[in-house]
């Protein structure tokens, strides 16, 4: 049976560092990320859509803007958290290292909890490097 798919793209700016990483990514640095969200179905809805792009934007953009955009994203084990919590720096704390791979999985799971029937997230850390999470 055929399958229909749509893709919606979002952009965020964020900073992070990789805890216990041996290399320059152990320093705080920033990215302008592109996030591709894919939704598929075997049957179109009554409007002949997989899902309304505006509905996807409302859910995904609101969550991304509130949680990740223009935030410093750190692992919960990062000792810098205590320092930054004493400032006005906006933090987003993850259970694991904020790699592109983990961010793609995290976004997939969070947006799925909000009702988006996502089958794949591609997280572009920059124009040359992307991580993909799909089920």
Using one digit for the tens of pLDDT, what is the confidence trace for 68-113? Answer: 999 999 999 999 999 999 999 999 999 999 999 999 999 999 999 9
How large is the average pLDDT for residues 121-135? 96
Helix and strand numbers (H, E) in the chain are 3, 6
pLDDT of residue 114: 97
For residue 75, the domain's CATH number is 3.30.479.10
Distance CA 135, CA 133 (A): 7
**Confidence grade of residue 2 (pLDDT, cut at 50, 70, 90):** confident
In the predicted model, is pLDDT for residue 1 greater than 80?
no
Using one digit for the tens of pLDDT, what is the confidence trace for 24-79? Answer: 999 999 999 999 999 999 999 999 999 999 999 999 999 999 999 999 999 999 99
Percent share of the chain, pLDDT over 90? 98
Range of the domain at 72: 4-134
**Confidence grade of residue 22 (pLDDT, cut at 50, 70, 90):** very high
Which tokens hold the place of 13? Answer: 């700016």
In the predicted model, is pLDDT for residue 119 greater than 90?
yes
Distance CA 34, CA 51 (A): 21
For the chain, the domain total comes to 1
pLDDT of residue 94: 98
pLDDT of residue 135: 85
């Amino acid at each position: 049976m055929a399958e229909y798919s749509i893709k919606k793209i979002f952009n965020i700016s964020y900073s992070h560092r990789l805890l216990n990483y041996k290399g320059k990514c152990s320093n705080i640095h920033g990215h302008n990320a592109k996030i591709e969200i894919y939704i598929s179905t075997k049957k179109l809805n009554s409007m002949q859509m997989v899902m309304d792009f505006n509905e996807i934007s409302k859910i995904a953009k609101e969550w991304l803007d509130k949680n990740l955009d223009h935030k410093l994203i750190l692992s919960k084990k990062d000792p810098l958290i205590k320092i930054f919590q004493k400032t006005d720096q906006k933090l987003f704390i993850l259970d694991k290292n904020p790699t592109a791979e983990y961010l793609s999985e995290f976004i997939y799971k969070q947006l799925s909890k909000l009702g988006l029937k996502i089958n794949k997230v591609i997280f572009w850390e920059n124009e040359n490097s992307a991580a993909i999470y799909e089920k």
